[in-house]
Amino acid sequence: MSEPTTVLSGDRQRLFLAIWPDAALAARLHELTRRTLPPGQGRAIETRNLHLTLAFLGSVEPTCRSCVESLAGEQRPPAFTLIFDCLGYWPRSHLLWAGCSQPPAMLRSWVDHLRGALRRCGLEPETRPFKAHLTLARNVRRYSGIGRGGRVAARMRHERVDDVAPVEWPVTALMLVSSETRPHGARYTILREWPLG
Ligand code: ATP
Ligand code: MG
């Protein structure tokens, strides 16, 4: 018997725009999670599901998907490298994530462009400033760091950030991805890919 999936009305799909690590990088990130998660804590994101969301569309009709597809790839930055050099923990959402202490400025403008594309297609994208974070594990109830010293400013925002040995991610494409909720977590399918310049 096939697994039940989320029921979406009509032809709607739950979609997001993201960047996806290649298999070797995803394996390194998964290994970082394995080394970092306290024993018995949390659920590591499966290697094949690791990604970084740039803009979330939500559940949309095919016409809206086409609209976003026609606009999202309009302005693509040249290929660039993201350097993941810190780990963060959000106690309220129980998420452990990897982040970039110095994200390139063009990442913010690229995300602004994608959010603008969503808006032009009638969607209401996130308005909070974009913060690149790659979720490594969920349901992490307790995390006291990995011993390299948390940053005070981060702690004051009720998050904890630790430095880690930098992991380089060469970003070469934008992906449109669908998400289906399955009993054992989300299942993602890459629907379309735009290479960066
Ligand atoms: P699940 O919700 O099944 O536990 P998930 O959160 O990974 O799994 P989705 O909720 O479909 O799957 O989300 C797909 C991606 O979009 C994830 O990276 C998620 O963090 C992000 N996302 C989900 N909802 C929003 C939102 N409202 N705003 C911004 N990003 C979102
Ligand atoms: Mg979700």
- Bin 145: left if φ > 0, else alpha if -120 < ψ < 50, else beta: left
- What are the tens digits of pLDDT across the range 82-122? 999 988 888 888 899 999 989 999 999 999 999 999 999 99
CA-nearest residue for atom 20, ligand 1, is 53
C-alpha 43/C-alpha 48 separation (Å) is 14
Q: Which residues pair with 97 in a beta bridge?
A: 88, 135
- Nearest residue (CA) to ligand 1, atom 19: 53
Contact 196, 110 (CB under 8 A): no
pLDDT in tens, 29-49: 999 999 888 888 899 999 999
Largest Cα–Cα distance in the chain? 51
Residue 185 CA: distances (Å) to CA of 47, 148, 152, 180: 13, 32, 34, 9
Mean pLDDT of the chain: 88
Report the pocket of ligand 1 as residue ranges, CB < 6 Å. Answer: 14, 16, 53, 56, 126, 179, 181, 185-186
Distance 134 CA to ligand 2 centre (A): 13
Give the distance (Å) from ligand 2 centre to CA of residue 197.
30
pTM score of the predicted model: 0.90
CA 21 to chain CA centroid, Å, is 10
E strands of the chain, at which residues? Answer: 13-19, 43-44, 52-60, 80-90, 95-99, 133-138, 160-171, 173-182, 185-195
**Closest C-alpha residue for ligand 1 atom 18:** 53
Ligand 1 atom 11: residue of nearest CA: 179
Centre of ligand 1 to C-alpha 24, Å, is 23
